[in-house]
Chain A
Amino acid sequence: MSLRFHWMFPKGGEVALKTPQATSRVLTTRSTSPAALPDMEGWTSFARVAEEVGIESVLLSFSYYEPDTIFIASAVGQATTRLKFIVAYRAGLMQPATLVQQINTVSGLIGGRVALNFVAGSDPVEQRGYGDFLDHDERYARAEEYLEVCRAFWRNEGDVNFDGKYCRVEGGKLLTPFTAPDRSSPEIYISGHSEQAQRLALAHGSSWLRLIDTPEKLRPLVARFRERGVEVSLRLCVICRATREEAIKAANSMLPSEDISREERGILSNSDSQTLKQALAAADNVGWLNRHLWAGLVPHYGSSAMTLLGSPQELANIFLEYGRIGVTQFIISGWPKLDEMLIFGRDVLPLIREAEAERS
């Protein structure tokens, strides 16, 4: 099986922005940010490039300051032909039957090119704005029931009946099926580092999605998931330049101004996500997790700014090493997203595909 590469979908207006500072969360979460509005022109051009350079899917993030992921996936899906859309959604914002009906409808419209990234919820303040008052552990308990109901609909074996603590369905029936050339239900990515997130991924996910860490640290975790038939996907950023030194120089130029850093710290402190706590600890303690994995941008841009940097050959070797410990998928971001995706597609991906072809 060859490694699968996905890219983070840019926020509204981001394709036109050229510096990481301009795309920082501090700026994009302001209500006046273009991130609040769909950007079909920028998105369509980004999506076509992604298709051309061999990116399989884009991940659309979910938040109150961005447009709804399901509709953006459907709209950009109408304008593309091969690219898939991994739609992030929070369990608990709508009835599971409603989510299944929406996702199935999208699948019918864009040839099944839709997958789900389930998040139990991250920031309690944001959750309350959505009418959700459960705490971290209870959110996972609900997500477990929620996914069980969704999967019962996708199994399509007669009426769905479920009587749980958070979800109850009697005689559930949806006639619109999930349709794709090769699947009868969407791939489900479960994110999170906590025990609960891992259990949820093992029980209901097709893949566990987590932040990148060193291969040594990840090896036993990945083995545990692969043994149970669940894939592991890593979320990371990439800075690829001709040499490692140039990549480090580029990385340092991406450090933001003092006030953006300070505000980002404020946003981060609201979160009860374990992923984030671990990533911040990594940044505070060491900065460099190994020769190529750098946490230096995490305190400024959030946990997903864990960055792999180096030359094309170095990066290709590193991805192949993750492949050897059992990781199968990567969801990548860069600054700017489009430029870094072009570099990756042109310089790194061919080296990986070449090595994969030799091996098989």
Chain B
Amino acid sequence: MRREPQRKTSHVMSLRFHWMLPKAGEVTVAEPQTPQAAALYRIESISDSSPAPRPDLEGWVHFARAAEEAGLDSILVSFSRYEPDPLVVSCALGLATSKLRYIAAYRSGLINPTSFVQQVNTISALIPGRLSLNIVAGSSTAEQRGYGDFLAHDERYARAEEFLAVCNSFWRGQPEVEFEGKHYRVERGRIHTPFFSGQPEVYISGHSEPAERLALAQGTCLLRVADTPQNLRAKVAEMRASGLEVCLRMCVLCADTREDAIRVAHSLLPDSDVGRHERSISVKNDSQMYREGAALGGEASWLNRFLWTGLVPHFGPVWTTLLGTPNDLAEAILEYKRIGITQFIMSGWPERDAVVTFGQKVLPLIREGEQSV
């Protein structure tokens, strides 16, 4: 059952860097944006009055071209009821760019696997193979129910495992797929449109045991929020030993001095009202990643000299931030490489400026330092 990851050999040695797609309307082509305004836009993107649910090809392409130029590998397009569909957006952006790849996040319970494979393969044919997947078993129970999914956390993982088992059967090139599980049943499944070449990379996110098991069984890479190298070392070694890559999700804040970076970071701390709203979302959430995140903050908000969780209790675990000077950041990332991490999915404030800074100031130091790691 274990699938073989498809990787380009050129990527085996160098670290791969991906970036989050900004919310629609977040990147404006004409006006510069402050980190505070960018953070606020993202926080308010789930409100009914935000323009973020409406696709914004112009702003996205402006961002994507900067990401291509900065030397990034892929863009992660997130999934939620507050945003446009990530598969459709990945396809549209893929057609408007030439090198950049797209990691589309999708929930496994929302579509049957045969249809999903047909959609994914169609996109891969349209944007020659530049599509990967981030399969999420589900996040908040309330949101899942709004999509018609009433399974509990652990059952969602069992279903996700079946879902990916069916998908991987198609992607391995079986002419007719037969599957009989608890959640899915397929008889003589055929999809003539193939994945562009080989199989897509599949990132599995989550911090729970079931998430790790799912990644090991059906994924090519475990995606999780950054923690300190010490805390991650054992887990990463275990995953790598099983042939799985590990990718860290984090925000980055790069400034000329560490003090400047910390000052900007603190300026992103919320007004108390916004914070309470977000915390109430976290409490309702049955994701283990979110429960861990909600416990962070306060005195314990520095995990080490570079890794800050001050924003996490307010905005969720993916606001875990790596901050410092270009040298600090390059050193921190090379340390992750030493323990076996191979990929990073980043985000910053504002996204486009952060990508440009990362590409110009941090990435060259990493590429240089990588030679000796």
Contact = CB atoms under 8 A, between A and B. Distances in A.
Interface string A119-139: 000000100111111000000
Nearest to A97: B147
B81 A175 contact: yes
Nearest to A96: B148
In this complex, the member of A31, A64, A78 whose beta carbon has the largest number of chain B beta carbons within 10 angstroms is: A64
Contacts of B175: 31
A101 B175 CA distance: 31
A170 B87 contact: no
Given A70-B88, A94-B110, A128 B187 contact: yes
Contacts of A78: 92, 95-96
A58 B142 CA distance: 38
Interface in A63-94: 64-68, 70-72, 74-75, 78, 93-94
A133 B180 CA distance: 12
B146 A169 contact: yes
Given A71-B123, A131-B184, A106 B88 contact: yes
Contacts of B111: 93-95, 98
B126 A176 contact: no
B98 interface: no
In this complex, the member of B123, B148, B150 whose beta carbon has the largest number of chain A beta carbons within 10 angstroms is: B148
B207 interface: no
Interface stretch (A32-40, A218-226, A319-327): A32-40
In this complex, the member of B87, B184, B192 whose beta carbon has the largest number of chain A beta carbons within 10 angstroms is: B192
A101 B146 CA distance: 12
Interface residues of A, number: 54
4 closest Cβ pairs, A-B complex: A175-B53, A36-B192, A94-B111, A105-B84
Contacts, number: 174
Contacts of A129: 114, 176-177, 186-190
Please classify how large the interface on chain B is, using the bins under 10, 10 to 19, 20 to 34, 35 or more.
Answer: 35 or more
Nearest to A30: B192
A179 interface: yes
B201 interface: no
A173 B81 contact: yes
B88 A105 contact: yes
In this complex, the member of A31, A125, A133 whose beta carbon has the largest number of chain B beta carbons within 10 angstroms is: A31
Given A102-B85, A169-B147, A130 B126 contact: no
B113 interface: yes
11 contacts: A31-B175, A40-B126, A67-B193, A68-B193, A71-B87, A74-B88, A98-B85, A131-B189, A169-B145, A176-B83, A177-B54
B61 to A, nearest CB: 11
A176 B176 CA distance: 36
Nearest to B55: A108
A131 B81 contact: no
A133 B185 contact: yes
Contacts of A133: 185, 187
B114 A68 contact: no
Contacts of B177: 129
A67 B122 contact: yes
A102 B145 contact: no
Given A108-B55, A129-B187, A67 B121 contact: yes
B149 interface: yes
A77 B335 CA distance: 46
B297 interface: no
B125 interface: yes
B87 A102 contact: yes
A36 B87 CA distance: 19
B88 A160 contact: no
Given A64-B192, A67-B122, A171-B146, 13 more contacts: A33-B192, A36-B194, A98-B147, A105-B84, A105-B85, A105-B89, A106-B88, A109-B88, A128-B186, A129-B188, A130-B112, A130-B115, A179-B54
In this complex, the member of A29, A71, A93, A96 whose beta carbon has the largest number of chain B beta carbons within 10 angstroms is: A71
B48 interface: yes
B67 to A, nearest CB: 19
Interface in B106-139: 109-115, 118-119, 121-123, 125-126
